[in-house]
Amino acid sequence: MTKKLFIVPENGFVNRLISVISGLRIAHYSDREPILVAKDDISFNGRLKNLLDLQLTEVDSLHLEPNELGSSASLEPIGGRSFYVDSDIQICHISGWHHFVFTEDDYALLQRIGEQGRLKIESELRGYSYKLLEKLYDDSRYDLGIHIRTNTGERDNNFQWTIPQISNLSNCISEKVQIWKIKKIYIACTSLDVRDALVQNLSERHPSLDIESGYSAKTNLTDKEKLLQDFRGLLNSNKIIRHPMSTFSALPSFINGYLEAIYLDNGELFERHPSLFKGCAL
């Protein structure tokens, strides 16, 4: 019987992508067939397989016969860790909260060669990421992608981001537009009011700037076109300015490996090299 790895992704769209990418790599190194388990929750209502045309086997739910489980097996999720039910089946609940999952062998490699080990693992994860998402790359390259996440709805006159905050962020972006010689940008935002205010502000400051924008506040199936439009826009951007706690824009930054600028709530920016490799050993 072929050994199997059941990947049970959870949480939002990109957290689930991170789960699948981690699972594909683990399946490869453990010589197992990866099987994606469909699971809806309040963060994501839809099928990754259909949304991205993934060439993966998918099952609706995880139902195994008692004789397949072994006497001491459990199907309860254990955070970001996997556990064996027998020698042929492995269940892997990967929460995908802001980081990839790596194995005990990876941990040993890090202990042995340090930074070189991290770079090797990150390179492999980028390879699996690109292979999974290569159909989303296109010719519409943007010099800069901007992702803004708010806690407001589509239209809200009392949105959390005040006009001064938007103005401060616009000042920082304008400075980068000049320094980086930006000509074309993509703005992805979870609030139409905030997005429209930022677009207007930047258009007034830089009349020749080519600005495209999207809106994807929800990550359910009914918004799949908006969701993919925003994700594709960021994935095809040469640089990114993003929210510090959002994996939605962190994954494109990581895959492409370019410098990203993180904005703070007061609109200020700081820069760093992207990494979603924070260590959760299986």
What are the structural domain ranges in the chain?
A: 4-135, 138-272
What pLDDT does 80 receive?
Answer: 47
pLDDT tens digits, one per residue of 150-188:
765 555 444 555 667 778 888 888 988 999 999 999 999
Distances in whole angstroms, Cα of residue 227 to Cα of each of 41, 213, 274: 17, 12, 22
Once rounded to an integer, what is the mean pLDDT over residues 46-66?
A: 72
Q: Which CATH class is domain 138-272?
A: alpha beta
Residue at 240: amino acid letter: I
Backbone angles phi, psi at 237, to 5 degrees: -100, 145
Phi and psi based region of residue 16 (left: phi greater than 0; alpha: psi -120 to 50; beta: remaining)? alpha
Joined together, the tokens standing for residue 58 give 């998918």
Residue at 134: amino acid letter: E
| HSE-CB for 132 with a 13 A CA cutoff | 26
Of residues 53 and 25, the one with the higher pLDDT is: 25
What pLDDT does 278 receive?
Answer: 63
Distances in whole angstroms, Cα of residue 190 to Cα of each of 160, 216, 220, 226: 12, 5, 13, 11
Tell me the C-alpha distance between 134 and 54, whole Å: 11
Closest Cα partner for 19 from 76, 103, 95?
95
- Beta 269-272 vs 260-263: how paired, if at all? antiparallel
Model confidence at 78: pLDDT above 70 = no
Tell me the C-alpha distance between 275 and 142, whole Å: 21
What pLDDT does 211 receive?
Answer: 96
pLDDT tens digits, one per residue of 203-222:
999 999 999 998 876 555 55
Tell me the C-alpha distance between 173 and 259, whole Å: 15
- Greatest mean pLDDT among 78-87, 130-139, 259-268 lies in 130-139
Which letter does DSSP use for residue 264 in this model? P
Contact 52, 137 (CB under 8 A): no
Of residues 2 and 241, the one with the higher pLDDT is: 241
Once rounded to an integer, what is the mean pLDDT over residues 82-110?
A: 68
CA dihedral for 241, 247, 253, 257, sign (positive or negative): positive
Residue 203 sits at the vertex; the CA angle it makes with 228 and 158, to the nearest 5 degrees, is 70
Helix axes 247-256, 13-29, angle to 10 degrees: 50
Once rounded to an integer, what is the mean pLDDT over residues 144-150?
A: 87
Residue at 12: amino acid letter: G
What is the reported pTM?
A: 0.84
Contact 220, 161 (CB under 8 A): no
Closest Cα partner for 277 from 85, 117, 58, 166?
117
- Greatest mean pLDDT among 57-66, 108-117, 254-263 lies in 108-117
